[in-house]
Amino acid sequence: MGGSINVNHLMFLAQGALWTVGLSLIALIGGGIAGFIIALCRIAPNRAVRVVSAGYIQLIQGTPLLVIMFLTYFGLPAIGIPISPLAAASASLTVYVSAYLGEIWRGCIESVPRPQWEAAEGLALSRTQRMSKVILPQAVRIATPPTVGFMVQIIKNTSLASVVGFVELARSGQIINNSLFEPFLIYAIIAAVYFALCYPISRLSRRLEQRTGFVRPQLVEA
Amino acid sequence: MQVIPVVQDASAMKLDAPVVSLKNVHKSFGSLKVLNGVSFEVGRGEVLALIGRSGSGKSTALRCIDRFEVIDSGEIEVCGHRVSDPKLNLRALRQDVGIVFQSYNLFPHLTIEENIILAPCSVKGVGKAEAKEQAKQVLAQVGLEDKLHQYPEQLSGGQQQRAAIARSLAMRPKVMLFDEVTSALDPELTGEVLKVIEALAAAGMTMVMVTHEMGFARGIADKVVFMHRGKVHETGSADILTSPGTPELAQFVGTGL
């Protein structure tokens, strides 16, 4: 017990930070793919598909991520599906992120002006062609700032994976603190690392938000 | 401005059959009756001007032709497509009908060329090289051959509207619908768009247009339909604009000129 913080501790923290970044990327990619499908389901022509996807979003958004983590990590083995901490954390975050991104992106798709749909329809494009060639390219631009902003939420929420024993940044801080017992110093370092990860991203998000409309590089406003 | 004759596929329909016909069309939005038994016909190569006050149902009537609105009762036939039939092949209808809107609705993320070749390439399966050649042709037709690689936002309103017309023409439609296409433009830009439409009419394109430009309607329309309270109130040649047969039309053109 005791002693002062040394290079090995810092290396351990750095490894934890890497896992935080890794888990965030898994959540973003997994949640992004699932969220995209959910966004499309939310505006599907079929009513049943719309209702089911809306129900999914309501259910997940109305459940704490912590509970989703417990459910996957402790609940699944209890019904005979063993799961590793990494798999449990990845699955939980994917489910959680998909519900939020699905709803954010549905809004972005629907905020492409209605006349754009009509113009595409008037040109005899099929629904799939209208979506992929006219609506989605425009929706992606609208969706970029809020999606980047949501990345910050994902990074911070990965800290909850520590409760299922996954050693990411927060958990590695806990472990070091258990041997050094310097909570103020160690958690301050942890906070600083989270901030260093999140701050550039939220700055980027704000920058993207200020850039409205279809401004191309050669036309960037002063 | 170069005029390319409009090629019409006459074999698909009887020569003297109307290209567009509405019979006793009714349409309500909720409790609001917008079309209350509207009938008119447009023959091949004819230009029909739909005029009337805001809210008289003229834009709705136009949108029904391309099935942007589904009618409650009555019959609409366009280029041999039974538009009022629920089993209508919507995409086949829209390949025969070109529509141009008040707000241009060019796709902002595509260049003018990409806007124009999108539908021919993805709907008709035209090759890219051929479609690009065609894009040059239709842009020349509207006097914008130098704007091929510009984005819509880099064009003036009048140029955007002409590009939108070119985009419709690239699908080689048999009939063109114009929904108040100059209402968002100042008089100078209106002139350049009207010139393009005039050239199309001269080339024999069948057209239905909703317009507030009475002088233009008088000059170009073969047929004028004056709508009032969801009905065709008066119809005839462009002469009815100068010598109206009903007090309502007299009042409308009186204030409209």
CATH of domain A7-219: 1.10.3720.10
DSSP code at position A159:
G
Proportion of chain B above pLDDT 70, given as a percent? 93
Q: Which amino acid appears at position B234 of this protein? A: E
Check residue B4 and give its pLDDT. 58
What CA–CA distances, in Å, run from B198 to A103, B47, B114, B159, B191? 47, 10, 26, 16, 10
Give the C-alpha separation, B130 to B124, whole Å: 12
What lies within 8 Å, CB to CB, of A26 at 6+ separation is A90, A93, A94
Q: 3-class SS at B131?
A: helix
Distance in Å, alpha carbon of A130 to nearest chain B alpha carbon: 10
Residue A116 forms contact with B (CB below 8 Å): yes
Average pLDDT, chain A: 92
pLDDT band at B137 (very low <50, low <70, confident <90, very high): very high
Contact A141 B101 (CB under 8 A): no
Query: What are residue B100's DSSP bridge partners?
Result: B178
> Which candidate from A122, A133, A138 shows the least CB-CB separation from B99?
A122
Residue A144 contacts B where some CB pair is shorter than 8 Å: no
Contact at CB, B105 and A119, closer than 8 angstroms = yes
Q: Tell me the nearest-neighbour CA distance from A138 into chain B, angstroms.
A: 7
B176: left (phi > 0), else alpha (psi -120 to 50), else beta? beta
pLDDT in tens, A180-221: 999 999 999 999 999 999 999 999 988 888 775 554 444 433
* Residue B109 with chain A: CB contacts under 8 Å: 137-138, 141, 214
Chain mean position to CA B89: 20
Domain extents in chain A: 7-219
Q: Span A85-96, mean pLDDT?
A: 96
- Inter-residue long-range contacts of A209-212, CB under 8 Å, 24+ positions, other chains counted: A209/A145
Query: What is the pLDDT confidence band of residue B79, given thresholds at 50, 70 and 90?
Result: very high
pTM for the whole structure? 0.85
Q: What residues contact B62, with CB distance under 8 A and at least 6 apart?
A: B50, B177, B179, B208, B210
Domains for chain B: give ranges and CATH numbers.
10-105+177-256 (3.40.50.300)
Mean pLDDT of B144-171: 95
Q: Which residues of B touch A219 (CB under 8 A)?
A: 153-154
Radius of gyration of chain B (CA): 18
Interchain contact A45–B (C-beta under 8 A): no
